[in-house]
Amino acid sequence: MLGRTLQRQLSRHSLIIADLPEWDITDAGGFSRKLAEAAPDAVIHCAAMTAVDKCETEQDLAYRLNAVGSQNVAMACHRLGIRLIAISTDYVFDGTLDRPYHEFDTAGGAATVYGASKFAGEEAIRTHCPDHVICRISWLYGPGGPSFVHAMMKLADGTRPVLKVVDDQRGNPTSTLAVARHLELLLEHRELAGTFHLTCEGEASWAEFAREIFRLGGKEQAIVPCTTAEFPRPAPRPLNSRLEKRMLRLCGLPPMPHWQEALAEFMAQEPF
């Protein structure tokens, strides 16, 4: 989903679209050879196993993709002198803090295999490729989906008088359009390195997010707020996914848009 948006946003750049089966980040030698042949100025590393519940049952695959795969990408980039921009997640935190997490908060206490494997990937990138930017995102939606926005619009088809939506998890609903624009900024600022949070400003619960989706989508859909405990999942969901964009501020970069503004832009463009 983010990759599709990046293809559109970065259209003025010369892009090499790297995907399976030709490009396999779990094949260290093969990936390095392909990268040497392509010789790009930068790599945007979006490849990951993001099926959070599946990561719990297929732990080796999660670590092979998210940790070892990221290590392979990082080592190849460093060896070839290529700048690396990698995508990570709020799940690297345990979600228990009573305020938004900023980039200098200690990560690594993830409560899920997904979060732990993504943090292992972050650490591999920091170790093996100094010329890197790690961008953490969360609650993502974008053109084509799949996403919470697409799921809610599909469920609000008039056949369900009431929808139960979790109301005790809070985060920053974030558009791939907003992320892609800031990734382009980071591409152009080659002097920058380190970890950046790229979620939209403002916060909401899933229920509040759903209400705004229905309002913008013109849907008359009733919602009943519920708790996380009412929807048990194999991988526990963090109650706090909020991310503060401290590094954008410190580096003098423009702020991310407010989540309601970004959602309105997206809803006006997406055919549901």
DSSP codes of every residue in 137-187: E-SEE-TT--SHHHHHHHH-SSS-SEEEEE-S-EE--EEHHHHHHHHHHHH
The kind and range of the H/E element at 236 are: none
Active site residue 101: no
**DSSP letter, residue 240:** B
In the set 63, 101, 114, 141, the catalytic residue is: 114
d(Cα 19, Cα 264) in Å, to the nearest integer?
A: 31
Tokens of 184: 């382009």
Residues 204, 65: Cα–Cα separation, whole Å:
31
Decide: residue 80, CB within 10 A, 0-12 exposed, 13-18 middle, 19+ buried: middle
Task: Tell me which H or E stretch contains 128.
Answer: helix 113-128
Closest by Cα among 203, 192, 188 to 138:
203
| DSSP assignments along 17-38, one per residue | ---TTT--TT-HHHHHHHHHHH
Positions marked active-site: 114
